[in-house]
Structure 1
């Protein structure tokens, strides 16, 4: 990209003033140098937007100032983690596994008889007590307990759950933890 020599010289002449301004804003020479470099790069990228006859220095000051305040706003949302310790401890499980598990659970629930599904959903999903579920369903406490137990057993069969998987992390989480512990 060919730059008009006069514009190039105006940019070069502005560098010491930009640096002084950046130091006064940031209070740090290293940050100031980064700000100046970013301002010059943005100035070059947007040189077509510069209006001849106006002050190149003032235009670059505006770019630098805007960049400084953008970085301040960005830092407010960021958590300092220079060693990467916090980032190393963050992990997000893949969402598709949970979605597939939900689909499997819905299909399995649909295969239960209505009475078992009703009892299980009231007690397990809605948190209704056995006594209250018995009243809602118009049956006895023992019948509700039996229906819930049979529904849980049948769901475990339909979902092919193994006893150690019933509670705690699933296979994916256990594999991840195993790999993390091995490293």
Structure 2
């Protein structure tokens, strides 16, 4: 009977790992800002989770456990990177980047820059709650802080982003007037 239960638990663990890849990748991209680095983070997270699967308690929050592993991997990477030479003023990166051709790319770049300027604890809380669609409770569990602390960090992060991006109201999001007019125009066949 225990062998059957063990097989069921392992199958459920494997299924949960696979179901978590997409949200883990989204969180990793948000944290690192680089798809290749994010893929490495996710791979390392899944490898560590698999290696330590015996320490996972069936019935507990798999997603929070995996996000915590990913978060710890990211911060370990940052600590290692401090020993490397950085492009602090961004001149090297600007010389290798291709200028965006559409306003959306410019907006995305502005948003990424604004996110990078947030304190790490605020950025992390905002990404967990807003981008990864986590509850405040799950985000608090991952970060090891109180729910109220997460709520405060998210609020401060949102306020800082609004100031940095010069956003005064929600009406500034979405398509501009030209695109709205094109969408509203009747289609002719």
Same fold (TM over 0.5): no
- TM-score (ref. length: structure 1): 0.42
- Compare relative contact order (CA 8 Å, sep 6+) and give the higher one, 1 or 2: 2
